[in-house]
Amino acid sequence: GQNIDQPTEMTATEGAIVQINCTYQTSGFNGLFWYQQHAGEAPTFLSYNVLDGLEEKGRFSSFLSRSKGYSYLLLKELQMKDSASYLCAVMDSNYQLIWGAGTKLIIKP
């Protein structure tokens, strides 16, 4: 079966750095996406990785290791507005998105 695992909830301090991990087992691989979703709102696209390595975009970076079936999202200089759920999604061999359950990130002052 297809499976994506990410922690249910994480807590971090404003101004700090946090890493949200995602491991996956899917039928094929055509890329991995990270989305941010604030409560009651739509998911917004953060990053896409299809090759191994680190993609940096401002305060957010995403890393992929295809051989390990592993990705992480790194958030630097945390702000209160970063409190949200972060969803990992993998595009399988049929170009279908398989979603993780999401990680709720709580930022404390």
List interacting residues with other proteins (CB under 8 A): 30-31, 33, 40-45, 48, 50, 87, 89, 91, 95-97, 99-102, 104
Strand ranges in 1-100 using DSSP code E only, listed in sequence order: 3-5, 9-13, 18-25, 32-37, 44-49, 53-57, 60-65, 70-75, 84-91, 97-99
CB of 15 to other proteins, least distance (A): 27
If the CB atoms of residues 13 and 27 are measured against other proteins, the closer one turns out to be: 27
If the CB atoms of residues 30 and 76 are measured against other proteins, the closer one turns out to be: 30
How many other CB atoms sit within 10 Å of the CB of residue 43? 18
Contact 99, 44 (CB under 8 A): no
CB of 102 to other proteins, least distance (A): 6
CB of 72 to other proteins, least distance (A): 18
If the CB atoms of residues 18 and 98 are measured against other proteins, the closer one turns out to be: 98
- Token pair 């297809």 in the structure block, residue: 2
If the CB atoms of residues 70 and 96 are measured against other proteins, the closer one turns out to be: 96
CB of 56 to other proteins, least distance (A): 17
Contact 19, 72 (CB under 8 A): yes
